[in-house]
């Protein structure tokens, strides 16, 4: 008799796990997805007579396992996109990652001098306690550049002061890049780019969500099942050490359980969760996102795939221009589709605003950015709300998360994966790797530690995807 596997969630992690498990005919797999589509936050959909993604999603990985899997799924149906992302600050565009000399020139002589003085002061007299985002970034860039290019955007995103945000976020996103490193490299003849400064990424023709659409086709052709619009009401551990899932359409029993649903939601419906663990749940806080897609009667607004908006007078924190991803897909369209992101908590008033109320918000932001001259250049807009999409790394979160991780590790055949499930600020490749390794833990009886992904795990083999395929470093 086949062993039964349940997967909760069909985002990058869950869909990858299902895709891999379905290759082994010794297992019967069912995916439960609460929405009507696969891909989670990485899905694509049709809007304004074109395909758009749920926000900006670039795929880049150094991990050969992930890259091989991605190419296996997408084949040759992708293009390499020259990455252009900048910071919008005081009506000027600054390269991101920062190119120090360009940035200093744009800031002007006086501000540049103050930034350099601030950097060398931080270099000579660094903060000893680097536990917070503020102290960690200030040591890398100097206090002044931190305030200009990092503070405002970061506080928009997380909704808390940078001194209350753990340095782990900076370590994951900024990694080892520093102003000093960039200054030194600028004078080197043989320059080598740090891996965080990639200038190209692979993008599937048909949108980022094509990866997970293709996974689904293979998964179903291999005999895997998926149930859309299904909510898990309760999870129980039976006397046989199996998992009983209660849904709106009935109960199902499984030998293995993989969950990518928000970790707090999982713990609340898992009947074996101890009171002491439930007491830690409120410390795992998620941030919500509102994406407003705007159709404009304009073209050639800016050359970037997306912009970080570092301006406290502009409410949106990031603006994506879908015309600049794979331009030849757009053809001769004379309009532009932008995605404006607004971050909030569930209790914030903006989360409950009606669609019509966003008309004034987006008009003001687009005018202040200089992307439109008149409000009538907005042809149409659509509002999409995404709950619990960013795990907030508050200064005390790790204590509670480690407690929860130890609790989960006490159960056989139970794995929590993905950005939601593991409470990690994953890129797409991290979630794919989580799903891949979770599947191997089941089908190959491996002992991969999923919690280590997106920390300091070592690549088994390093490679990159190029326009001609996989290139091993």
What is the location of CATH 3.90.660.20 in the chain? 286-391
Query: What's the rounded mean pLDDT across residues 60-78?
Result: 96
* pLDDT score recorded for residue 375: 96
Give the list of residues 6+ apart from residue 331 with CB closer than 8 angstroms, or none: none
SS (H, E, C) 218-286: HHHHCCCEEECCCCEEEEEECCCCCEEEEECCEEEEECEEEECCCHHHHHHHECCCCHHHHCCHHHCCE
Predicted pLDDT at 456: 56
Write down the pLDDT at residue 289: 98
CATH topology of domain 286-391: Polyamine Oxidase; Chain A, domain 2 (3.90.660)
The per-residue pLDDT of the chain, averaged, comes to 90
In this model, does residue 157 exceed pLDDT 80? Answer: yes
Q: What is the pLDDT of residue 192?
A: 46
Hey, what long-range contacts does 150-156 have (CB within 8 A, 24 or more apart)?
152/310, 152/311, 152/312, 153/87, 153/308, 153/309, 153/310, 153/317, 156/309, 156/317, 156/343
pLDDT tens string 264-292: 999 999 999 999 999 999 999 999 999 99
Using DSSP's 3-state secondary structure scheme, residue 292 falls into strand
CATH 3.50.50.60 in the chain is located at 3-38+208-282+394-472
Residue 332 pLDDT exceeds 90: no
Residue 174 has pLDDT above 90, yes or no: no
What per-residue confidence (pLDDT) applies to 167?
A: 85
> What integer pLDDT is reported at residue 95 of this predicted model?
86
Q: Read off the pLDDT of each residue in 320-341 and give the average, rounded to a whole number.
A: 87
Residues 3-38+208-282+394-472: name the CATH superfamily. FAD/NAD(P)-binding domain (3.50.50.60)
pTM above 0.75, yes or no: yes
Q: Each residue of 349-386: pLDDT tens digit? A: 999 999 999 999 999 999 999 999 999 999 999 999 99
| Sheet of strand 225-227, all strands in order from the earlier edge strand to the far edge | 225-227, 27-32, 3-8, 256-259, 414-416
Q: Which pLDDT belongs to residue 104?
A: 78
Give the pLDDT confidence score for residue 173 in this predicted structure: 66
Instruction: Give the whole-angstrom CA distance, residue 81 versus residue 34.
Output: 32
């Amino acid at each position: 008799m086949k062993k039964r596997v349940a997967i909760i969630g069909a985002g990058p992690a869950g869909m990858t796990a299902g895709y891999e498990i379905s290759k082994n005919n010794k297992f019967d797999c069912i995916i439960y997805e609460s929405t009507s589509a696969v891909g989670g936050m990485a899905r694509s959909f049709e809007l304004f007579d074109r395909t758009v993604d749920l926000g900006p999603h670039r795929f880049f990985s150094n991990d050969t396992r992930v890259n091989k899997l991605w190419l296996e799924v997408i084949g040759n149906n992708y293009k390499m996109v020259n990455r252009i992302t900048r910071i919008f600050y005081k009506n000027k565009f600054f390269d991101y990652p920062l190119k120090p000399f360009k940035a200093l020139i744009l800031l002007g002589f006086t501000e540049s001098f103050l930034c350099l003085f601030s950097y060398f002061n931080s270099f000579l007299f660094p903060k000893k306690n680097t536990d917070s985002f503020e102290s960690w970034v200030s040591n890398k860039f100097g206090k002044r550049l931190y305030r200009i290019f990092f503070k405002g955007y970061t506080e928009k995103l997380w909704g808390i002061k940078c001194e209350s945000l753990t340095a782990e976020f900076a370590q994951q996103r900024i990694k080892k890049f520093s102003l000093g490193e960039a200054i030194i490299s600028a004078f080197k003849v043989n320059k080598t780019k740090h891996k965080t400064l990639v200038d190209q990424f692979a993008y599937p023709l048909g949108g980022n969500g094509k990866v997970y659409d293709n996974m689904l086709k293979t998964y179903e052709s291999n005999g895997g099942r998926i149930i859309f619009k299904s909510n898990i009401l309760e999870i129980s551990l039976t006397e046989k050490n199996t998992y009983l899932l209660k849904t709106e359409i009935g109960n199902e029993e499984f030998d293995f359980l993989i969950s990518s649903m928000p970790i707090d939601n999982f713990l609340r419906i898992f009947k074996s969760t101890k009171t002491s663990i439930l007491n830690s749940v409120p410390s795992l806080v998620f941030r919500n996102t509102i994406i407003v897609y705007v159709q404009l009667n304009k073209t050639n607004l800016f050359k970037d795939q997306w912009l970080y908006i570092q301006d406290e007078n502009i409410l949106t924190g990031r603006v994506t221009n879908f015309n600049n991803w794979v331009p030849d897909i757009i053809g001769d369209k004379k309009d532009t589709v932008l995605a404006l992101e607004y971050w909030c908590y569930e209790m914030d008033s903006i989360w409950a605003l009606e669609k019509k109320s966003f008309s004034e918000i987006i008009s003001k932001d687009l005018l202040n950015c200089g992307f439109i001259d008149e409000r009538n250049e907005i042809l149409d807009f659509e509002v999409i709300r995404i709950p619990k999409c960013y795990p907030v790394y508050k200064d005390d979160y790790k204590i509670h998360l480690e407690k929860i991780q130890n609790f989960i590790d006490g159960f056989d055949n139970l794995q929590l994966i993905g950005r939601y499930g593991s409470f990690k600020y994953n890129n797409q490749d991290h979630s794919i790797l989580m799903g891949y390794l979770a599947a191997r833990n089941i089908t190959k009886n491996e002992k991969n530690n999923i919690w280590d992904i997106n920390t300091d795990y070592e690549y088994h083999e390093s490679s990159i995807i190029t326009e001609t395929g996989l290139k091993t470093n």
